[in-house]
Amino acid sequence: MELLELEEVHAGYGPTQVLHGVSMKMAEGEIISLLGANGAGKTTTLRAICGGVRWDGAIKLSGRSLHRMSTEDIVRSGLAHVPEGRGILTDLTVEENLRLGEHLRRDRDQVRKDYVRVFEYFPVLRERRRLSASTLSGGEQQMLALARALLMRPRLMLLDEPSLGLAPLVVRAIFEIIRDINRADGVGVLLVEQNARLALELSTHSYVLEVGRVAVAGLSSELKGNDSVRRSYLGY
């Protein structure tokens, strides 16, 4: 069964239609990248999946329709969304942010192990754990968001531009960690990225959005090798 399936999804904000029939699917444990120019509707697609905007069509998580489900319930059924802007709770400490990531889990032993792993990936979070999350730098907040998503132990992670504003070296490291999380836990990752080159390397399949429609879809390796696709849609 597909992990995630979108069929003819239309969505928008009030009277403005942004998505004009987006269809895509991803298998269990796969990494998919969602590419496209600014304003193409990538963020809106992720918002539709987690119930953040009104939509028509069909969206299914592991075969189960997400229609009319609240964001809370969608998240509880195994989805983690690191949104544009990272969604850090800046009134709380780093530790409290992480705690909220795993607060619904019952497998406490595994949670403890996951904390160890999270702090191995991001030692800076351990050092800063008692500090207010608002004191973290942009890159550190991105790490916190990813760490928190990992602690949620989702089946599917939606990552909205995890490389935004990060130094190239840090981006590399973060992408390695995403790959690692995907391999170790079998988490499906839907990755929205401006950095198409890196995203194509990391993912198995890719979708390219153009003004709310899927313009190109296929194996990432093939898109990477296709010069005309690269030039017209991916800009490198």
Partner 1 sequence: MQEFLQQVVSGIASGGIFASLALALVLIYNAMGLVNFAQGEMAMFATFVAYALIENGMSYWIALPLALVLAFAGGVLIQRVVIRPVERAPVLTLVIVTLGLATLINGLAGFVFGYIPRSFPSPFSVQTVSVLGALISFRDLGVIAVSALVLVLIYLLLQRTTLGLAMRAAAHNPDASRLLGVRVSWMLALGWGLASAVGALSGIMVAPILLLEPNMMQTIIIYAFAAAVLGGIESPLGAVVGGLIVGITVNLAGAYLVGGDLQLAVAFLIIVAVLVIKPNGLFGRPSVRRV
Closest approach, Cβ 209 to Mg ion, in A, equals 10
> Rounded CA gap, 181 and 113, in Å?
14
Question: Is 16 near ligand ATP (CB under 6 A)?
Answer: yes
Residues in 190-229 at the binding interface with partner 1, rule: CB under 8 A: none
Part of the chain binding Mg ion (CB under 5 A), chosen from 43-51, 93-101, 136-144, 195-203: 43-51
Identity of the residue, 114 or 161, whose beta carbon is nearer to Mg ion in the bound complex: 161
Concatenated DSSP letters for 169-220? HHHHHHHHHHHHHHHHH--EEEEE-S-HHHHHHH-SEEEEEETTEEEEEEEH
40 binds, options partner 1, ligand ATP, Mg ion, none, Cβ within 5 to 8 A by partner type:
ligand ATP
Taking each continuous run of H as one helix and of E as one strand, the counts in the chain are 10, 10
Q: Compose the 64-103 pattern: x for residues touching Mg ion by CB under 5 A, - for all others.
A: --------------------x-------------------
Closest approach, Cβ 179 to ligand ATP, in A, equals 22
> Rounded CA gap, 203 and 206, in Å?
7
Q: Of 33, 43, 97, 142, which lies in the binding site for Mg ion, with binding defined by CB under 5 A?
A: 43
Q: Which residues pair with 81 in a beta bridge?
A: 158
Residue with tokens 């602690």: 151
Q: Of 67, 103, 183, 231, which lies in the binding site for partner 1, with binding defined by CB under 8 A?
A: 103
> Rounded CA gap, 128 and 42, in Å?
32
Question: Is 50 near partner 1 (CB under 8 A)?
Answer: yes
13 binds, options Mg ion, partner 1, ligand ATP, none, Cβ within 5 to 8 A by partner type:
ligand ATP
> Rounded CA gap, 118 and 19, in Å?
35
> Rounded CA gap, 109 and 107, in Å?
6
Q: Which residues bind ligand ATP (CB under 6 A)?
A: 13, 16, 18, 36, 38-44
- Applying CB under 8 A, the residues found at the interface with partner 1 are 50, 70-72, 75-76, 80-81, 83, 87-92, 96, 99-101, 103-104, 148, 152
